[in-house]
Amino acid sequence: MKKKLILLFLISLLPLKAFALIEVDITRGNLNPLPLAVSPLSIDDKSKKSFEKILKKENIGSEISTIVENNLRTSGLFNPLSKEAFLQAPDIANLKPRFEDWNLIKAQALITGKVTYIDEKLRVEFRLWDILAAKEMMALAFTTVPSNWRRVGHIISDKVYERLTGEKGYFDTRIIYVAEEGPKTQRKKRLAIMDQDGANNKFLTLGNELVLTPRFNPTSQMVTYLSYFKNLPRVYLLDIETGTQEVVGDFPGMTFAPRFSPDGKKIIMSFAKDGKSDIYTMNLENRLVEKITNHPSIDTSPSYSPNGRFIAFNSDRSGYQQIYVMKSDGSNVKRISFGNGIYGTPVWSPRGDLIAFTKLHKGKFYIGVMRTDGKGERLLTENYYQEAPSWSPNGRVLIFYRETKTNAKGEGFSAKLWSIDLTGYNERLVETQTDASDPSWSSLLSN
Contacts of other proteins in 91-110 (CB under 8 A): 95-96, 98-100, 103-104, 108
Q: Write phi, then psi, for 41 (nearest 5 degrees).
A: -65, 135
Residue type for position 444: L
H-helix segments, 228-291: none
- Taking the C-alpha atoms of residue 112 and residue 138, their distance in angstroms, rounded to an integer, is 11
Length of the chain: 447
Q: Residue 358: which of 397, 392, 318, 322 has the closest Cα?
A: 322
Report the nearest approach of other proteins to the CB of residue 446 (Å). 6
Distant-in-sequence, close-in-space partners of 149: CB < 8 Å, separation ≥ 6? 55, 57, 60, 63, 64, 122
Contact residue for other proteins among 5, 10, 21, 408 (CB under 8 A): 21
Ordered strands of the 202-203 beta sheet: 202-203, 188-195, 174-181, 435-441
Q: Which of 300, 328, 392, 432 is in the footprint of other proteins by CB under 8 A?
A: 300
How near is the Cβ of 303 to other proteins at its closest, in Å? 11
Judged by CB under 8 A, how many residues of this single chain contact other proteins?
Answer: 126
Output the smallest distance, CB 53 to other proteins, in A.
20
Question: Which residues have C-beta within 8 Å of that of residue 329, sequence separation ≥ 6?
Answer: 292
Nearer to other proteins by Cβ, of 11 and 31: the residue is: 31
Residue 387 contacts other proteins per CB under 8 A? yes
- Interacting residues with other proteins between 402 and 441 (CB under 8 A): 403, 405, 410, 413, 422-423, 438
Q: Is the Cβ of residue 7 or residue 139 nearer to other proteins in the bound state? A: 139
CB of 210 to other proteins, least distance (A): 6
Instruction: Check residue 19 for interaction with other proteins (CB under 8 A).
Output: yes
Comparing C-alpha atoms, which of 102, 114, 161 is closest to residue 137? 161
* 310-329 binders of other proteins (CB under 8 A): 314, 316, 320-321
Nearer to other proteins (CB atom), residue 121 or residue 291: 121
CA atoms of 272 and 121, how far apart (whole Å): 52
Q: CB-wise, 27 or 340, nearer to other proteins?
A: 27
- What are the beta bridge partners of residue 338? none
The angle that helices 60-74 and 45-55 make with each other, rounded to 10 degrees, is 70
Rounded to whole angstroms, the Cα distance separating 437 from 418 reads 10
- Using the rule CB under 8 A, is 23 a contact of other proteins? yes
Q: Does 11 bind other proteins (CB under 8 A)?
A: no
- Strand, helix or coil at 90? helix
Task: Compare residues 370 and 445 and give the one whose CB is closer to other proteins.
Answer: 445
- To other proteins, the closest distance from the beta carbon of 267 in angstroms equals 14
Q: How buried is 133 (Cβ within 10 angstroms: 0-12 exposed, 13-18 middle, 19+ buried)?
A: exposed
Interacting residue with other proteins among 6, 8, 85, 134 (CB under 8 A): 134
Return the bridge partners of 247, or none.
236
Q: How far is residue 116 CA from its own chain's centroid?
A: 31
Residue selected from 66, 70, 381, 446 as contacting other proteins according to rule CB under 8 A:
446
Which of 12, 27, 340, 407 is close enough to bind other proteins by CB under 8 A?
A: 27
Under rule CB under 8 A, residue 85 binds other proteins: no
Near other proteins by CB under 8 A: residue from 5, 9, 25, 82: 25
Asked if 186 contacts 175 with a C-beta cutoff of 8 angstroms, the reply is: no
Q: Is 56 in the site for other proteins (CB under 8 A)?
A: no
Least Å distance between CB 133 and other proteins? 6
Among 151, 234, 402, 416, binds other proteins (CB under 8 A): 151
β-pairing, 42-43 with 109-118?
parallel
> Looking at beta carbons only, is 2 or 166 nearer to other proteins?
166
Is residue 9 within the footprint of other proteins (CB under 8 A)? no
Site string for other proteins, 183-222 (x = CB under 8 A): xxxxx-----x------x-xxxxx-x-x-xx-------x-
Angle of helix 149-165 relative to helix 60-74, nearest 10 degrees?
A: 40
